[in-house]
A and B are shown apart, each in its own frame.
Chain A
Amino acid sequence: MPGRLGAIDYAVLFAYLAGMLWLGLWVGRRLKTGDDYFLAGRRLPWWAIGFSLVATDIGATDIIGGGGNAYRYGLAQANFEWIGCVPAMIVGAFVFVPFFHRLGIRTIPEYMERRYSPAVRTTLAVCLLLFMAFNLGIMLFASAKMMSGLFGWNTTVCLLLTAALVGVYTSSGGLAADVYTDVLQCVVMIGGCLAIVGIGLAELGGVGPLFDKVREIDYSRRGGVDHTALILPADTSTPFPWTGIFFGLSLILSPAYWIGNQAIVQRSLGARSEFEAKASFVAGAFLKNVIPLVYVVPGLIALALYPNLADGDHALPELASKLLPVGARGLFLAAFLAALMSTVDSYINSASAILTLDLYKRHLRPDADEARLLRVGRFTSVGVMAWGIASGLAMGLVEGTGVYDAFQTLMAVFQGPLLAILLGGALWRRATARGALVGFLGGAATTGILFTLNQKPVQDALGIWPLFTVASPYLYYSIWSFLVAATLLVTVSCLTPPEPEEKTRDSVYRRRTA
């Protein structure tokens, strides 16, 4: 049953939204160049980027879908914030972030052209655009689902309102607006979710009783998932066997995300110095330690209090609508919107950067000046938002798929191959452009084939058994796509002539020299 908002809730919500809009527009009033728009003029401080990295990573899909997975599968979901982030962020901080910052690039596809070829750049740019555009749809759909569940509002109206609000300040203020609003959004997000944790734990009597209650529920279900275990067996029926978490998440998806995702890397490229870029990643890694409190613990609290929900994705909305008093609901909704907006604004800006710099400037108007890039950037931001709205509305047609799983499956298509060619390019001088192109496309095709073969109608038609025994095996997709991409990269590179020395001189990693 939807909860009702009181006057205080509306006041909290309105104050938050008005504050975001004002801050975004205020930051955006001084932009003059494309560099200002896409990299905040390379003047961002480490602390703001650190908060922004975390806020960008924790989106509506995490609050709804991640919370839902914690409800369904338990504490193992926390791996996505812990071993699935911290080690990769630390390695990224000391190796890749300063390397990219030194190169002075603006996008990851731009690095691919410097290291490989224009074809690799364009292919990756198109794939990243597709990923971000559909991701936007998933995030907007998740927000509409949440608001609809919480308040009984119309989902389409919720989706359009959120998109319009984020679209206005992002198209106006660019990366600087995104990062500074992210700082506030991160604080609101953590604060709002901690409120629900505090009230939930008080209701249950503390952490000990929470775990006792969850164990009691597991025991009564006889043979179900152990919701209190962080590491699950290889034959678990959940999407989180330790094999997938270790090999797929911590060694492939996580490094690919933290050193290859444009929305993430772009922030560190906007840092005012190489040291601040490094420090931002370290700060983000430190903050990551507490993030499971934001949505994993609430998922467990929802399980303890309401163990019979039909859909795990309703766990946090249910918790908020039934547990929170009037006044606190507004804060929780603000926290949810903060998570949503901080991720949506980042993807809009990054998609716009790729459209403007890697496609428009690279192929259509190589002579475009900075003022023109700023105008095109703003225009494409609006276009990306419109695409996000359309795909968000289309997501409603496939409701029933876990939101988080949909997001992760989409990530798995490109992340494994991207990591293979990124690592190959940055660390192996012999990697060639042809090897990278074949590797990337082969890896992405591998995910596509595995995904298709894992669909029940396809298995029935071909008369084959399922290839994977776990639910939503996106972690395994990423392992195989990475392995195929890496194998193809190495094989084709060895069969083709090496890249000229002037091409690899600066674009292959080496520690800074005096």
Chain B
Amino acid sequence: MVGALMKVHVVVMPKQSVLDPQGVAVKNALRDLGLDTVDSVRVGKLLELEFKTPPDDAKLEEVCRDLLSNPVIEDYSIRRD
């Protein structure tokens, strides 16, 4: 398919062991709005990368580990669409 861009989504989430005060604040706001069954919220981020040619897998893992996430506090996962 000519011209179609390949999208790669990288999801970065705080590790379970890391306190996520943003998630706690959002959870409390959700409960205030009536979503009172919500038990926990964690706030991460989603990065959308576009490629004309598929990226090298090893390189992609490397930049996810070294730049896009900080392995001390975050986990990442890669989703190819």
A-B complex is real: no
A residues at B contact (CB < 8 Å): none
B residues at A contact (CB < 8 Å): none
